[in-house]
Amino acid sequence: MGEMNDKVKAGHRKTWALGDYPALATDVIPELGRVIVQASGVTSGDRVLDIAAGSGNAAINAALTGADVVASDLTPELLEAGREEAARRGAHLEWREADAEALPFGDGEFDVVLSCVGIMFAPHHQAAADELIRVCRPGGTISLLNWTPEGFIGQMFAAMRPYAPPPPPGAQPPPLWGDPGHVQNLLGDRVTDITIERRMLHVDAFGKPEDFREYFKAYYGPTIATYRHIAEEPEKVLALDQALTTLAQNHTQSTSPYTLNWEYLLLTARRTSN
């Protein structure tokens, strides 16, 4: 079982090292880091953990408030990009390679535990949820921002699923973290004062639907891995090309400038004392 899990984690690291996710985070979704930091109420002096931080979209914004921040992620290439971005922006924080399902931190070590479209990609949802609660102090804040199943990115994963490599045993679809009922079941009675809000990110980084498709084929690890899986089957490549183009057409808000609507779920809660 341990050897299988090691292979799963190695595959996960490899996927997210493909392409250039840090560029995507900076060019396409920079707003989300600011949104979750504001929602979680991070202030100077707070001890903050960003789980599956990637290149630090949220963690860097948290550090700029004066908080004591640890950015953790399974993929060292993303952490290195984050260090460079933090230096450029004058943010001081700690970067730790860590598995969201087995965090190397003590019980109740953090005042605020957050994750911005990150923890959703840990394959075993309950294990990741148990860890994020464990490391948050009683009375501390938990804040999660995840793509919804019904929204653009959730539907993108649904479109890619028939063409993607099979998921590891026991893995659950990432967009379930954007389903309110699913997340509340994961957290259970270990949190209180839950606030849940669906919001829309308006993305104007692309000129037309095909531009989105080609950008994700070049920059986004899961999309790159999916196309590599079907590289020897040109008819499947064409079918996935069309599916992603149609997806973008169906989520177009405006054509001047060309703008896509991407729905996400923002959840904040307080860790109970039990």
213 assigned to some structural domain: no
Give the pLDDT score at 119: 98
pLDDT in tens, 212-239: 999 999 999 999 999 999 999 999 999 9
Is the pLDDT at 99 greater than 60? The verdict is yes
What's the structural domain count of the chain?
Answer: 1
244 assigned to some structural domain: no
- Write down the pTM of the prediction: 0.95
76 assigned to some structural domain: yes
Is the pLDDT at 243 greater than 70? The verdict is yes
24 assigned to some structural domain: yes
In three-state form (DSSP H/G/I as H, E/B as E, the rest C), the secondary structure along the chain is CHHHHHHHHHHHHHHHHCCCHHHHHHHCCHHHHHHHHHHHCCCCCCEEEECCCCCCHHHHHHHCCCCEEEEEECCHHHHHHHHHHHHHHCCCCEEEECECCECCCCCCCEEEEEEECCHHHCCCHHHHHHHHHHCEEEEEEEEEEEECCCCHHHHHHHHHHHHCCCCCCCCCCHHHHHCHHHHHHHHHHHEEEEEEEEEEEEECCCCCHHHHHHHHHHHCHHHHHHHHHCCCCHHHHHHHHHHHHHHHHHCEEEECCEEEEEEEEEEEEEECCC
105 assigned to some structural domain: yes
234 assigned to some structural domain: no
Give the pLDDT score at 274: 67
Is the pLDDT at 2 greater than 80? The verdict is no
Is residue 12 very low, low, confident or very high in pLDDT (cuts 50, 70, 90)? confident
Q: What is the CATH number of the domain that holds 20?
A: 3.40.50.150
90 assigned to some structural domain: yes
Is residue 18 very low, low, confident or very high in pLDDT (cuts 50, 70, 90)? confident
